[in-house]
Amino acid sequence: MSETTQQTLQYRFDGPKDAPVLILSPSLGTTWHMWDRQISALIQNWRVFRFDLPGHGGAPAHPATAVGDLTDRLLATLDGLGVQRFGYAGCSIGGAIGADLALRHPHRVASLALVASSARFGSADEFRQRGVMVRTNGLEPMARTAPERWFTPGFAAAQPTIVEWAVQMVRTTDPGCYIAACEALAAFDIRTELGRIGVPTLVLVGAEDQVTGPGDARTLVAGIPDARLALVPGASHLAPVEQPGAVTDLLLTHFSAAWQDTQAAIPAPVFVPQPSAPVLPVAEITAATTLPVAPSEGRADPYPPGMRIRREVLGDAHVDGVMAASDDFTDDFQELVTRYAWGEVWAREGLDRRMRSTVTLTALVASGHLESLAAHVSAALRNGLTPAEIREVLLQTAVYCGIPAAGAAFTIAQTVIQAETTPPA
């Protein structure tokens, strides 16, 4: 497959060729079919463009580990089709792509709808742990728990066919691409940048969404200058599937009005439909988040990247615990560790993180510093080593570092691996 194909996305068009383009983006683990029940109404006014994430819905499995990479692939696809300006609605990670578009390519986006999305998706630990679970057990645990994450209990009980459809979408996703998308969400954080999103934005969320709920939506609305909040009753994370009529009406109203305000170069729909359900956007706008301080001049300080890498490798919970336990006596030591161990050595490009974890596990066993082994077994799983590979590393240490040290290491590693890779009941 050509490099060009690897840098584009699987897509489809619906609607008249001369209509303005409206992009609909799916969420993690779903395909473009999550928007099926919106299409018949939307194509009355727009040419609807839908795409699949890499490895989803039969799309080529070229993993993307950053939201910006997905954005770039989408733009490469649109550039090849001659699409320059468009409206955009994205669900969950699709919303992250939309926000990234609005931040880095605002001239391309006429209007924006962020559905079940967030400026930061939970914690980085959660998504990296999800990646560990999939790498060890495959996608079955994610497929089995998808209905409870995506739908309200009443809807799931009443619509078993849709629930099974949702489960099959996850099962047929490429595991490597799913893990990469988890890495992308773990690293995504635009809380300090929301004030730079300058396009009209609808923030739409299910009232019962437990994944990216109303609190996340209000953070978006508080930070984006021209944003409105639409709270959809009786819906969880996949609101377009669970409440299709209400979501469709909200999208029609938002994009029709936004196009008339901002799309002077592209014909706007002359008919502005009125919502058929009593679900309307509610304005909840407060002050935007403070912007970050500009970096100082000179050689880059290794502390910030060191802290970022330390958190990515060891997890936020571990690092937060270490930093909380630090005091005036140990603060300088923690700064030294962050700045030099993580900001200088772990940041080097000579070895990837899998190899660095392998070396670290071996060194800890060889030196007898087993008090740090549990944290680095977790880190090794997060860095892409499988339990089988960790076992082989420890067997190698048994030969060269001694049976007693390796035996103790096996006991520690076994406990960590069981805790982190056993699917929930």
pLDDT tens readout for residues 200-249: 999 999 999 999 999 999 999 999 999 999 999 999 999 999 999 999 99
For residue 302, what are its two tokens? 């290794």
pLDDT for residue 417 is more than 60: yes
Cα angle, residue 33 at apex, residues 27 and 34 outer, rounded to 5°: 45
What is the number of residues in the chain? 425
pLDDT for residue 5 is more than 80: no
pLDDT for residue 275 is more than 60: no
User: So what's the pLDDT on residue 260?
Assistant: 57
Q: What Cα–Cα distance (Å) separates residue 138 from each residue in 130, 144, 179, 233?
A: 11, 11, 10, 34
Q: Please name which of 4, 53, 17, 60 lies closest in space to residue 267, comparing C-alpha atoms.
A: 17
Q: Please name which of 140, 39, 78, 230 lies closest in space to residue 424, comparing C-alpha atoms.
A: 140
Q: What is the mean pLDDT of residues 121-138?
A: 92
- Comparison of pLDDT for 425 and 57, the residue scoring more: 57
Residue 282 is given by DSSP the state B
Residue 263 three-state SS: coil
User: So what's the pLDDT on residue 282?
Assistant: 38
Find the helix or strand (DSSP H, E) in which 93 lies: helix 93-104
For residue 356, what are its two tokens? 């660095």
Going from the N-terminus, what domains does the chain have, and what CATH number goes with each? 3-262 (3.40.50.1820), 296-347 (no CATH), 349-425 (1.20.1290.10)
pLDDT tens readout for residues 285-325: 333 344 444 444 567 899 999 999 999 999 999 999 999 99
User: So what's the pLDDT on residue 3?
Assistant: 53
Q: How many CB atoms lie within 10 A of CB 399?
A: 9
How would residue 6 be classed by pLDDT, with cut points 50, 70 and 90? Answer: confident
pLDDT for residue 185 is more than 90: yes
d(CA 186, CA 329) in angstroms, rounded, equals: 32
pLDDT for residue 372 is more than 80: yes
pLDDT tens readout for residues 13-25: 999 999 999 999 9
Q: Please name which of 254, 187, 214 lies closest in space to residue 45, comparing C-alpha atoms.
A: 254
Across the chain, what does the average pLDDT equal?
A: 89
